[in-house]
Amino acid sequence: MIMRWRRFSRALRCAIGIILCVGIIQPVFARQEHGGADSGETGHQVEEKGHAAEEVAHSFPHPFFNHLGMPDKPGMLSVRVTGYRQGYSEEPSRGDFAFHLETGLYDRLGLHIRNDAIKEGFRTDVMLMFTVLQDIEMESGVSVFLAGEVPSGTIPEGEDDVIGAFGIAARKVFGEMAIFDGNVHYVPKEEMVEYEVSGVLKATQYLFPVLELEGEVMEDESSLYLLPAMKFKLDPGRFLGVGSQIALTSDREFDTRALLQLDMDW
């Protein structure tokens, strides 16, 4: 009974946190949207701003592992393919691969599929994200999402069920200077909270520094990783990234991880 109450309490706190975040931010975005409507903005002007938002997103690379705070526009498709080697300082390292696929389905609605450990993991995340708030430029906003960790690869016996998760994400675009994304996942079955925060800066037309924080919080342990990286523009919508992920806590899956990523969008 005590364990059930703890699970319910964590879920309740997470839900309250999401509601409070949306409640605090909503009036700001509502004023911005009403401001655009009151100024007599035409549908053509709104469409032009939507295209401008696509151009900004197209000119910046994605983070390494963090998913975006808002879904892509309908018709857009982005793919991230990553190879990495990780291990502990005094042990042989091992290699693995990851992929992220994101696409816009309808206005404000997008699909995100990812697997961060194709060889050693046995689940793939499938996520539907909906933007509930966005600014007048359609660049920054707040989204909610539902996700399922779907079994894939070699499944251990008794672990072939789908694990559900939900959460909230946000994105803030600072013109052509920087883009920040963040999200919080709650996985009720595992009593776990996952969080990711990333910033992508524009140093030059072809050089983009990237900084990410990624962590998990569970009842008996928590982990936190820092990922400083760099992405190089090859062509419009094509980037090559290199980085090194470092564990900052004693609870960890590895000490260091070296990454190479191909980042593409259409």
Averaged confidence pLDDT in the chain: 83
Give 4's pLDDT tier (boundaries 50, 70, 90): very low
Strand partners, 198: 181, 212
Report the predicted TM-score, pTM, of the whole model to 2 decimal places.
0.77
**Containing domain of residue 98, as a range?**
2-265
pLDDT at 83 over 50: yes
Give pLDDT, residue 47: 52
- What CATH number is attached to the domain comprising 112? 2.40.160.40
Give pLDDT, residue 42: 53
Give pLDDT, residue 122: 84
What average pLDDT does this structure show over 247-258?
94
Give pLDDT, residue 266: 87
What average pLDDT does this structure show over 79-103?
93
What average pLDDT does this structure show over 198-223?
95
Q: How many domains does the chain divide into?
A: 1
Give pLDDT, residue 154: 74
What average pLDDT does this structure show over 196-211?
96
Give 1's pLDDT tier (boundaries 50, 70, 90): very low
Least-confidence region, from 145-159, 186-200, 239-253? 145-159
Highest mean pLDDT among 140-144, 159-163, 220-224: 140-144
DSSP letters of the chain?
A: -HHHHHHHHHHHHHHHHHHHHHHHHHHHHHHHHHHHHHTT--HHHHHHHHHHHHHHHHHS---SSPPPSSPPPBT-EEEEEEEEEEE-TTS--EEEEEEEEEEEEETTEEEEEEES-TTT--EEEEEEEEEEEE-TTSSSEEEEEEEEEEE-SSPPTT--SPEEEEEEEEEEEETTTEEEEEEEEEETTTTEEEEEEEEEE-SSSSEEEEEEEEEEE-SS-EEEEEEEEEEEEEETTEEEEEEEEEE-SSS-S-SEEEEEEEEEE-
Give pLDDT, residue 16: 42
Higher pLDDT, residue 256 or 55: 256
pLDDT at 117 over 60: yes
